[in-house]
Amino acid sequence: MESKKCSFSRSRKCRHILQNGKYKFVPYNKLFSRTKEIEIDSYGVFEGYANRDSLSYIEVYGLTGIPTIYRGTLRRKGYSEAWNTFVQLGCTDDSYVLPDTENMTYREYVNSFLTYHTELTVEKKLQDSLGLSNEVMDKLRWLGVFEDKKIGVKGLSPAKVLQKKLEEDAKHR
């Protein structure tokens, strides 16, 4: 795990788009709240969001003079709101190491980004602080980020803790 670079922390750069001849920029902290709903016949509704620097493809593909270029990713509806939870909390930050991650649980990890309040559950604090829908909360519960399971690895950044959780779940689902 230490030698791996978090795939989502690598992609925290601003997205560059050309839309109707105008340059548009989407910073990472706004990426998952600036989506476009796209319906694909026989497949359903997806969300599209900018993926990396679209402008670099103009020259590569000989598209000089086109008014719009947008390199994007499609995800099932609801993905962006759920992922934006992690972005807004600070869980995708790879610039510092959290203390005591070998003894911290995933529930404590999430709680460490929330205000101190002894009478509210972690779930309630998270939902209230970010105004999350019940649907997003169900996705976060399904992922297991509220579990009292130990992270069990020392010296991880917030992004690496999240990556570890996602990789663990991918193996078990």
67 and 89 fall within a common domain? no
Strand partners, 76: 46
The reported pTM is 0.83
Strands 72-76 and 44-50: antiparallel
> pLDDT, tens digit, for every residue of 57-76?
999 999 999 999 999 999 99
Q: How confident is the model at residue 28 (pLDDT cuts 50, 70, 90)?
A: confident
172 and 101 fall within a common domain? yes
> pLDDT, tens digit, for every residue of 117-172?
989 999 999 999 999 999 999 999 999 999 999 999 999 999 999 999 999 987 76
Question: How many residues comprise the chain?
Answer: 173
95 and 151 fall within a common domain? yes
Query: Does some domain include residue 101?
Result: yes
What are the percentages of helix, strand and coil residues in the chain, rounded to 5? 35, 20, 45
> pLDDT, tens digit, for every residue of 6-24?
455 556 788 999 999 999 9
